[in-house]
Amino acid sequence: MKPVPAPLSAEDDLRSAETQAGAFQAVREARRSELAEDYVELIAELIAHFGEARPVDIASRLGVTAPTVAKTLDRLARDGLVMRARYRSVFLTDQGRALAEECRVRHDIVVRFLIRLGLDAETAEQDAEGIEHHVSARTLALFAAFAERRGQPETR
Amino acid sequence: MKPVPAPLSAEDDLRSAETQAGAFQAVREARRSELAEDYVELIAELIAHFGEARPVDIASRLGVTAPTVAKTLDRLARDGLVMRARYRSVFLTDQGRALAEECRVRHDIVVRFLIRLGLDAETAEQDAEGIEHHVSARTLALFAAFAERRGQPETR
DNA sequence: GTATCAAGTTAGCACCGTCTAACTTTTCAT
DNA sequence: ATGAAAAGTTAGACGGTGCTAACTTGATAC
């Protein structure tokens, strides 16, 4: 078969292989940081509300088992996002705290955006959990503008 | 420490551990199907435009190596989404085709939504690649409504 | 003070998704 | 018809994310 044969269906063109590959690479990159972001964001929440972040609470709120949390926290510690001492709660490093704050802001924008769009708060929270990691800076800015704009929520 | 101490910061309450765990479990579930969806969607695109889906093209458009594609295709075949014969192109099963179509529709809605929101087409495509897997049915419906409502002409 | 129980840890397994290196098969130009 | 190039495959490595089972430590009730 020829390297680039003419399209059989001429409706719309495909993006170039390179462009498409770039998009997928960006997605894979985002996927790699997602878990770390979920952890630091949750840890910051727990510390803000309960004064400390215990592995057992992280586990129950993430819906995974304690050993999974332990292993992940070790990785986060290795990567400089958290500090931990054996049998103690977890704390964020400066880097971890910065990341958590960034995530919190982004998360809030996405949630408020979805609610403004007409979604119920519960589903907005759920969807935001997945969406937030894949929103570029430009899109986030548009979300923020839409969320903040004056007017009643779009209930149609 | 007490099991559920009073919040130290009273600004806003946390969701219950169960609710939050549910959201994270949903995200993990979505993450598990993401790659399969990317593959079948891409395979459908390639077949529609070039008449066949060759591993080498899948690899170049995904930005991964050929062995990675091979292994993933084996998994998709095991899961009943694609059919393959050695040294031949890949085809979708009925199930794979159905999934691909569902993804295509969802992808298009997300892209049109983002463009309508004011994003450039290129960034819209990129962000959609990541976002589409995490949009619930309700949110998708809102996206579709927003994208289709009258306003400035769609550039399609 | 000690026994108990919750929390935390360690070890080991499994699967996924990625890679490189080396090999085989197919395709195509001459 | 054949040989080189392209495509595909296999093997093996590695890190991530999850689990269960079994162990150790810490906190608490008495």
What ipTM is given for this predicted complex? 0.90
Q: Does A7 touch chain B (CB under 8 A)?
A: yes
Nearest Cα to Cα of residue B119 among A27, A124, A140: A140
Average confidence score pLDDT of chain A: 91
Long-range contacts of A87-91 (CB under 8 A, 24+ apart): A89/A52, A89/A53, A89/A54, A89/A55, A90/A43, A90/A53, A90/A54, A90/A55, A90/A58, A91/A47, A91/A53
Cα B76–B82–B88 angle (5° rounding)? 110
Residues 6+ apart with CB under 8 A from B90: B43, B53, B54, B55, B58, B73, B82, B83, B84
Residue B40: the pLDDT is 98
In this structure, of A31-45, A137-151, B45-59, B134-148, the range with the lowest mean pLDDT score is A137-151
A40, A76 contact by CB (below 8 A): yes
Which chain B residues have a beta carbon less than 8 Å from that of A27?
Answer: 38, 129-130
Q: Which domains does chain A have, with CATH numbers?
A: 24-148 (1.10.10.10)
C-alpha distance across the termini of chain A, in Å? 50
Q: Which two tokens stand for residue A73?
A: 């926290």
User: Residue B84, CA: closest nucleotide via C1'?
Assistant: D8
Residue pLDDT, tens place only, A86-137: 999 999 999 999 999 999 999 999 999 999 999 999 999 999 999 999 999 9
Q: Is the CB of B70 under 7 A from strand D?
A: yes
Residue B88: is it exposed, middle or buried by C-beta count within 10 angstroms (0-12/13-18/19+)?
Answer: exposed
Average confidence score pLDDT of chain B: 91
What number is the average pLDDT over the span A5-13?
53
pLDDT, greater one: A4 or A109 = A109
What number is the average pLDDT over the span B52-72?
98
Cα–Cα dist B43/B59, whole Å: 11
- pLDDT of A64 > 70? The answer is yes
% of chain B surpassing 70 pLDDT: 88
Q: Does B31 touch chain A (CB under 8 A)?
A: yes
What number is the average pLDDT over the span B3-30?
76
- pLDDT of A149 > 60? The answer is yes
A77, A84 contact by CB (below 8 A): yes
B42, B58 contact by CB (below 8 A): yes
Q: Which two tokens stand for residue B139?
A: 């949110």
Cα–Cα dist B100/B39, whole Å: 9
A114, B113 contact by CB (below 8 A): no
- Residue A63 (CA) to nucleotide C16 (C1'), in angstroms, measures 20
User: Residue A85, CA: closest nucleotide via C1'?
Assistant: C8
Q: Reduce the DSSP state of residue B73 to 3 states and report it.
A: helix
% of chain B surpassing 90 pLDDT: 85
B127/A142 Cβ within 8 A = no
Which chain A residues have a beta carbon less than 8 Å from that of B145?
Answer: 156
User: How many Å separate Cα A17 from the centre of its chain?
Assistant: 27
Residue A38: the pLDDT is 98
DSSP secondary structure code for residue A132 in this structure: G
